[in-house]
Amino acid sequence: MPTEPLSQKEIEDRLRELPGWSLAGDRIARTYRLATHFAAAAMVVHVARVQDELNHHSDLTLGYDTVALSVNTHDAGGAVTERDFELASRVDAVAAAHGAS
């Protein structure tokens, strides 16, 4: 997976394909809402497994009934790369499986 920094336009184009995700400073970010706190915690565990599988890790915040993620690519000096969008796409699939909105 390439780790070249994406341009602002490439980032904006990719974000249009991932509704709910946005650019927050130098990271892409999204917050999901779950039905309960335990459901949110269960989603975090599943996301952690995907992140280890991809060897690409976000900053994750577990709230009362929310899971907030933000990510960029450390190996690219903190730039946004394709690896971040690959993770975002996989997390969206996990979130859907957990009934997150």
Ligand X SMILES: C[C@H](O)[C@H](O)[C@H]1CNC2=NC(N)=NC(=O)C2=N1
Q: Does 46 bind ligand X (CB under 6 A)?
A: no
Distance (Å, rounded) from C-alpha 53 to C-alpha 20? 23
Distance (Å, rounded) from C-alpha 14 to C-alpha 6? 10
Q: Does 90 bind ligand X (CB under 6 A)?
A: no
Q: Does 30 bind ligand X (CB under 6 A)?
A: no
Q: Which is nearer to ligand X, 49 or 74 (CB)?
A: 74
CA distances from 51 to 16, 35, 89 (A): 22, 23, 12
- Please give the residues from 50 up to 79 whose contact with ligand X meets the rule CB under 6 A: 55-57, 71, 73-75
Nearest to 33 by CA among 61, 53, 14, 54: 61
Q: Which is nearer to ligand X, 30 or 73 (CB)?
A: 73
Give the 3-state secondary structure of residue 48: helix
Q: Which is nearer to ligand X, 3 or 31 (CB)?
A: 3
Q: Which residues bind ligand X (CB under 6 A)?
A: 55-57, 71, 73-75
